[in-house]
Amino acid sequence: MPRDIVLRSFSLYMSILVFTLIILVGAFIAGLLGSLTGLGGGVVIIPLLTLGFNIDIRYAIGTSLVAIIANSSGAAAAYIKEGITNIRLGMFLEIATTIGAVAGAMIAVYFPTHWVAILFGLVLLVTAALQLRKKEDHLEVANGDTLAGKLRLNSSYPTSEGEVHYSVRRVPGGFLLMLLAGMMSALLGIGAGAFKVLGMDHIMHVPFKVSTTTSNFMIGVTAAASSVVYFQRGYIDPGLCFPVVIGVLLGATLGSRILLRSATGTLRMIFSIVISILAAEMIYKGIKTGF
Amino acid sequence: MRLKKRIQDVDMQAFIGKMLRTGVTLSACVTVIGGLLYIFRHNDIVPDYRNFTKVGEQYISIVDILKGVSQFKARAIIQLGVLLLIATPIARVIFSVVAFLMEKDYLYTIITLVVLGIICYSIAGGVA
């Protein structure tokens, strides 16, 4: 065999192997950061694939949604055992997030990709701002809405000081925000956990820990509802899925192990700045390619 | 009665937790097997993801994917892993329908069926 053919095939061989390994490492870091900061892997993996590797945003969205399912299901398995997740609340709100997800996947076809990039940047900025919000529980001990009572959403969760009871209020408002969160999830390929937590914690006054774990519980089903659409549309490529899904999964697993309730304030601040820069780049790229 | 219901809730949670973990582990194993075959076998194909072209039909249709898996094709195996992953939360919803029914919680049986219905609509391709 001529030497140059051997060399050429070797270099091509390297490029696919190296490509997979680099994405694997990138996805690992994305999963680790997403887990440490509680933002999820999607907000990092999409800019990594589109800005870093120039990958078409449709491939990025499809791949990211699959990675999110892995992440959410893995974490939900751990949280459910602790009894913090409010399964009824999650189940009820999943009606809204899955309707939002199907609607989002439906309108995605009519949405030019540069607009998706711009919207992604804007949502990323909101997420960064939400991340800096002070976390405090609005514990409602009084009876919540009559609707919350009828739906049996009021519950309790274990804390270091024993079982704490809480009531849920403003159910319709929370439901509406979940429609939006589901739509954002499908359209942008993210978990939209920040929006889900905002709806439960801020609007419905669900304790923060219950909000975050219940949000995680809902993310997998929401992403499954839209990813089946993208799968049929051919957005989900096996060559990309392998490094992204496995990388994010490994990173998130490590992240959940080293998260020792330590002071993550500084880390969260740094991360918010980083994703703000990524957001600005996404918006810039969207404007540059689209207009 | 109240205590009994509580115990059933805890059982249901334990089972859902186990189910989710099994689904993720299984799909990750399948994906890694396919992925390793892919990077070591396909040394002549350089992927171009810059321009979007729909993924080939052999990686979309479930029948074709299973056929590919039986022929030990790398990317078909990865897609099987991906399908298992997508199926994991859906299986959780299906199980929840049964669990709520066993608890005689008919309101939540209906709520869960609505969620399942929306997902089925999505799978049926009404949107794609």
Instruction: Provide the ipTM.
Output: 0.89
Q: Do B86 and A53 touch (CB under 8 A)?
A: no
Return contacts of B40-45, CB within 8 angstroms, 24+ apart.
B41/B74, B42/A16, B42/B74, B43/A9, B43/A12, B43/A13, B43/A16, B43/A17, B44/A9, B44/A12, B44/A13, B45/A16
DSSP A9: H
- Quote the minimal CA–CA distance from A11 to chain B in Å: 9
Task: Give per-residue pLDDT as tens, A204-248.
Answer: 988 888 888 899 889 999 999 999 999 999 999 999 999 999 999
- Which 19-78 residues of chain B touch chain A by CB within 8 A? 20-21, 23-24, 27-28, 31-32, 34-35, 38-39, 42-47, 49-52, 54-56, 59-60, 74-76, 78
pLDDT in tens, B67-120: 999 999 999 999 999 999 999 999 999 999 998 998 889 999 999 999 999 999
Domain total for chain A?
A: 1
Task: Specify whether the CB–CB gap between A38 and A219 falls below 8 A.
Answer: no
Interchain pair B51, A231: CB under 8 A: no
What is the span of the domain harbouring residue A125? 3-290
Our CA-based measurement puts residue B119 at a distance from the nearest CA of chain A, in whole angstroms, of 5
Run of H or E residues at A208: helix A208-232
Provide, as residue numbers in chain A, all residues whose Cβ is less than 8 Å from the Cβ of B96.
87, 91
pLDDT mean across residues, chain A: 84
d(CA A39, CA A194): 7
Distance CA B83, CA A227 (A): 10
Q: Strand A162-166 relative to strand A155-159: parallel, antiparallel, unpaired? A: antiparallel
**Which of the residues B18, B19, B77, B118 would you substitute to probe the A interface, choosing the one with the greatest number of A C-beta atoms within 10 Å?**
B118
Q: Tokens representing A138?
A: 């609005």
Q: What is the pLDDT of residues A259-287, one digit of tens each?
A: 555 546 677 777 788 888 989 999 998 89
Residue B7 has pLDDT above 80, yes or no: no
Q: Is B109 on the interface with A (CB under 8 A)?
A: no
Q: Do A16 and B51 touch (CB under 8 A)?
A: no
Q: Is the pLDDT of residue B4 over 60?
A: no
pLDDT tens, residue order, chain A (291 aa): 444 444 444 444 447 888 889 899 999 988 888 777 767 778 889 998 998 888 899 999 999 999 999 988 888 877 777 788 899 999 999 999 999 999 999 999 888 889 999 999 999 898 888 877 766 666 666 666 788 888 888 888 888 888 888 888 899 999 999 999 999 999 999 988 888 988 898 889 888 888 888 998 899 999 999 999 999 999 999 999 999 999 999 988 887 777 555 546 677 777 788 888 989 999 998 898 876
pLDDT for position A233: 92
Taking contacts as CB-CB distances below 8 angstroms, the residues of chain B near A225 are 118-119, 122
